[in-house]
Amino acid sequence: MIRISVIVVCFVIALCLGFLLQPAIHAHYLLTELETLRVSHSTFEDAERLARKIGAKPTGYTTCDRSYCEWHKKIGNSLIPHWWRGSGEAFQVSFAVKDSVVTSKNVGYRNRPFLSFFGELGGAGELGPHAESKLVTIGGQRNAEFPYYEVKVCMKPEASAEDRKRYSSFNFRCFWRYKGCKDARELLPALGSDVWTPIS
């Protein structure tokens, strides 16, 4: 009888752990699959194949064809009880094709109201007016109410694999830890404190 009780308790614990960890595992899977697309090299067919594999849907703002299409896939931990997860986490990947070639890949990781963003874009002009000479552009926003409100990382396809790995090393523990992560700094901890603009 005791042995059966121990087995039941272990099963319940394993079930709860699996329930808590599932969103983090799913987010890691989406990020890994997104890396199979190469900006400025992968084709419309490659993007369409990935969309089917991960269940991404076209945004719906325009018709989806080789001239232009953008897909997105979003997950979250809303099924975890609110008293444990707090405001909750959301993770989204998106990718776009223009003229039959993949032109961008984006990742957004949010813990309301905080946001961490990673993007790889094909056109230097898309990174901002001062980013043409930079392979990686980083910016962090803060204010008196939220010291670490938002961080954005944009990079060109020519950026190194080391930079790409570093700046997409999201803290997926935010999905399952008690009350989640408290700000954007914890969502993407690989960044140094110098990326945050002074509080005005």
At residue 197, the pLDDT reads: 57
96 φ, ψ (degrees, to nearest 5): -130, 150
User: pTM here?
Assistant: 0.82
Each residue's pLDDT tens digit, 133-173: 688 888 877 777 777 778 888 888 888 888 888 888 899 98
Round to whole Å and give the CA distance between 12 and 24: 20
- Which regions of the chain are under pLDDT 50? 124-127, 129-130, 199-200
Query: What is the per-residue pLDDT for 125?
Result: 44
pLDDT in tens, 94-108: 999 999 999 999 999
pLDDT of residue 199: 47
The domain spans of the chain are 2-195
Instruction: Identify which of 173, 183, 200 has the alpha carbon closest to the alpha carbon of residue 28.
Output: 173
pLDDT of residue 115: 81
Q: Amino acid identity, residue 60?
A: G
User: Nearest Cα to 172, choosing from 20, 27, 15, 11?
Assistant: 27
